Structure 1
């Protein structure tokens, strides 16, 4: 990618910090077998987003108040970020997962 191409991409895409909040603070430590399967589908979904180029990184965060998931997306708008998080199997499961989506003001990449 040339510097002009990178510059154009930077002006047409935005980076979003997406925080996946689990249904309970101890979720990472008390998952049932069914919830482990759901998390496996969640990971597969995110791997597909990585291959598509919309996901930059994802993973669990060791917060003392309770682990939560971090998802960093590079997309054109907050609506696109919301569409990705709404399509996540954990969100669609109806089990109480939710995402908070915050736009990054600036990034160094």
Structure 2
């Protein structure tokens, strides 16, 4: 198995601050897709990154190889529904996780 960092790039630099209703709906389906990946064990972590140069979505995904990762990403509603999103993929040859990380609830940082 391999771990990949994936960056979800929105359809424009101002996304998600000006998302349309249709984009909001597809993002809800995207979140459900990510939640399912986490529950299945392929998803390690997901979340928005408020990068000053432009926000993007982060995913850490475990997959057999890049072809398997591509199949996972191809099923994401933000890709299948064609709203202009795209993924960038970076292989991570080694990863260290804090023990018990997966069993802890997410913190509310709002």
Q: TM-score range by the shorter chain?
A: 0.7 to 0.9
Q: Tell me, in whole angstroms, the C-alpha distance in 2 between the residues paired with 1:94 and 1:36.
A: 13
Q: How many residues align?
A: 97
Q: Which structure: greater helix fraction? A: 1
Structure with the greater alpha carbon radius of gyration:
1
Inter-partner Cα distance in structure 1 for 2:90 and 2:30: 20
Aligned to 1:107: 95
Is residue 74 from structure 1 mapped to residue 62 from structure 2 by the alignment?
A: yes
Q: 2:10 aligns with which of 5, 13, 22?
A: 22
Structure 1: gaps spanning 5 or more residues: 1-12
The residue aligned with 1:56 is: 44
Q: Which runs of 5+ in 2 are unaligned?
A: 98-110
Asked whether the equivalents of residues 3 and 92 of structure 2 are also in contact (C-alpha less than 8 Å), the reply is yes
For 2:29, the equivalent position in structure 1 comes to 41
TM-score by length of 1: 0.85
Tell me, yes or no, if the aligned pair for 2:48 and 2:57 is still in contact at 8 Å.
yes
